[in-house]
Amino acid sequence: MRVLSLFDGDRAFRDLEKMAVEIGTRPSGSKKEREAAEWIASQFEAIGLKTRIEEFEVTTGRVVSKSLEVLKPYKGEVGCEVQPLYGGTGPNGVEGDLVHLETLDEEYLTPRLSGKVILTSGRTRDRKKTYGILSMLKPAAVIVYEFFPRVLAKNLWGSPIVRERFGDFPTVRVTYEDGLELLRKGASRVRVVAHAESNKVRSQNIVGELEGGERPEEIVVVGGHYDTVLEVPGAEDNAGGTALVLELARVFRERGSRRTMRFVAWGSEELGLLGSRHHATSLREASEKAKKEDEDAETELDKVVLCINLDVHGALIGTNSSRVLGPPELTAAVKLLSSERGVVYDVKEDVYSSDGTPLSAVGVPSVSFSRSAPTNLLMHSVEDSMKWLSPKNLQAQGEFLETFLSRYVADAAAFPFERKVPEEHRKKIEKYFERAMRKMP
């Protein structure tokens, strides 16, 4: 017999709308990200959670001006989006012959690219090798076309790590259709303006904690990121996940929990999981320091026994997925509850590129829940909006998560999952950070 759910999908949907419409785009380090952070903190405080804000430094950027102009053999303008953290061209832009590469794999990276503008899908087997070669060849700019038709050019950040290690790669993105037209019309020379600036700013995580009534020393983290890339509403990615976190916080504040539940809205996920990496690194460093003084010391990191990550939610049409980094019984629990409730989840033991992974990198098992939908193709563009989403889906996701957390966290007499990230999962995590050229927490 099911316990009556307290989760309110309509209330969660109103929270989603508050972030995606009223506050709007929430890029890292911006006034809007800070506005969202303060609003989320006020929601935690209003229900009586012990609330704090964790600040950390990030490198962010802004686009001053952008354009893509065809010079030969015809004249024309093409709409584009700049990835500011790859570097810029300055206000006057750069001019060069256009060379098409199907991918950025090393087979195509020859000296003929020096001083040229590359048109490409941007795909590559090895990013580090690609940028290492390009840093020696010094192309004038890169134009990336989207890999699928009928989607807008993405508003992505780019990577400050690439720029620091390999130098500037002024990069703009265009639609698949515009890339196709450049090829079909034989565009041979172009001018690219990607005038961008970068600077160091402060971002923040918002933490609201519900202390456990019987086992407060066992901590379960439930989080989702609230930031966006530039200029996008970020409704599905990830106001939807943050709205689930807020409503689950209200539910368990009312229900109570034997264990401490730490609800977190992560900042700067879109810049490379920076908020969760900061949190995980702080836990690890404090633990290492304490254990140097007393090897038997139980640290806060030791007390964090599980992380639930909620990223990409709310689509009415789609399917559910879950990615687990932890012991086999954790995977089995998600599968069993899926079968019991009659709600299908695609459950796999693998890395999910979001905020659960940094916690698992420091030894905390994690489960990432997300929604696979046709509209995932629209994420990171201005079309990631409310019109694809529904309170009905938030209700379904919320009820599943409420049941999972009630059964295994809030009400369990003994915590049922071993605090362990298996070696094969750790290797996957290491490969993930290596491919992404990001430092492990």
Q: How many alpha carbons fall within 13 Å on the CB side of residue 28?
A: 31
Q: What percent of the chain has pLDDT over 70?
A: 99
Same domain, 96 and 181: yes
- Cα 266 to its chain centre, rounded Å, is 9
Same domain, 32 and 54: yes
Say if 3 falls within a structural domain.
no
Same domain, 266 and 346: yes
What residues are paired with 82 via a beta bridge? 172
Overall average pLDDT of the 291-300 stretch: 94
Say if 67 falls within a structural domain.
yes
Contact in structure between 76 and 70 (CB atoms under 8 Å): yes
What residues are paired with 117 via a beta bridge? 98, 141
Same domain, 329 and 351: yes
Say if 299 falls within a structural domain.
yes
Same domain, 216 and 300: yes
Same domain, 275 and 358: yes
| Residue whose token pair is 């950040």 | 157
The CATH number of residue 156's host domain is 3.50.30.30
pLDDT given at position 1: 42
Q: Is the pLDDT of residue 229 over 50?
A: yes
Average predicted confidence (pLDDT) for the chain? 97
pLDDT given at position 299: 97
Angle at 403 between CA 399 and CA 405, to 5 degrees: 115
Say if 111 falls within a structural domain.
yes
Pairing between strand 215-225 and 304-310?
parallel
Contact in structure between 58 and 28 (CB atoms under 8 Å): yes
Say if 441 falls within a structural domain.
no
Q: Residue 4: which pLDDT band, with cuts at 50, 70 and 90?
A: confident
Say if 136 falls within a structural domain.
yes
> 391, 16, 400: which is closest to 236 by C-alpha?
16
Same domain, 343 and 239: yes
What tokens appear for 67 in the block? 């354009």
Q: Which of 150, 165, 196 is the last residue of a domain?
A: 196
What tokens appear for 86 in the block? 């790859």
Same domain, 28 and 75: no
Structural domain for 392, as ranges: 9-60+201-435
Q: Write the DSSP string, 145-205.
A: E-SSTT-PPP-----HHHHHHH----EEEE-HHHHHHHHHTT--EEEEEEEEEEEEEEEEE
Q: Is the pLDDT of residue 81 over 60?
A: yes
Strand blocks (E) in 14-125: 50-72, 76-78, 81-82, 94-101, 117-120
Overall average pLDDT of the 284-291 stretch: 97
Backbone angles phi, psi at 326, to 5 degrees: 170, -170
Q: Is the pLDDT of residue 364 over 60?
A: yes
Same domain, 149 and 40: no
Say if 26 falls within a structural domain.
yes
pLDDT given at position 181: 98
Same domain, 191 and 208: no
C-alpha distances in Å from residue 359, one per residue of 54, 77, 275, 365, 378: 16, 45, 11, 7, 28
pLDDT given at position 2: 53
pTM comes to 0.97
pLDDT digits over 330-344, tens only? 999 999 999 999 999
- Cα 28 to its chain centre, rounded Å, is 12
> What distance in Å separates the CA atoms of residue 430 and residue 249, rounded to the nearest whole number?
32
Q: Which of 181, 196, 211 is the last residue of a domain?
A: 196
Q: Is the pLDDT of residue 345 over 70?
A: yes
Same domain, 33 and 148: no
Question: Looking at the 3D structure of the chain, how many domains does it have?
Answer: 2
C-alpha distances in Å from residue 303, one per residue of 108, 194, 210, 364: 50, 47, 15, 9
Pairing between strand 94-101 and 117-120?
parallel
Same domain, 28 and 94: no
Q: Write the DSSP string, 296-335.
A: TPPPHHHHEEEEEEE-S--BSS-EEEEEEES-HHHHHHHH
> What distance in Å separates the CA atoms of residue 164 and residue 189, rounded to the nearest whole number?
29
> What distance in Å separates the CA atoms of residue 392 and residue 376, rounded to the nearest whole number?
18
Say if 23 falls within a structural domain.
yes
Q: Which of 196, 218, 240 is the last residue of a domain?
A: 196
pLDDT digits over 106-157, tens only? 999 999 999 999 999 999 999 999 999 999 999 999 999 999 999 999 999 9
| Residue whose token pair is 């354009």 | 67
pLDDT digits over 231-282, tens only? 999 999 999 999 999 999 999 999 999 999 999 999 999 999 999 999 999 9
> What distance in Å separates the CA atoms of residue 168 and residue 61, rounded to the nearest whole number?
14
Contact in structure between 6 and 255 (CB atoms under 8 Å): yes
Q: Residue 410: which pLDDT band, with cuts at 50, 70 and 90?
A: very high
Overall average pLDDT of the 167-184 stretch: 98
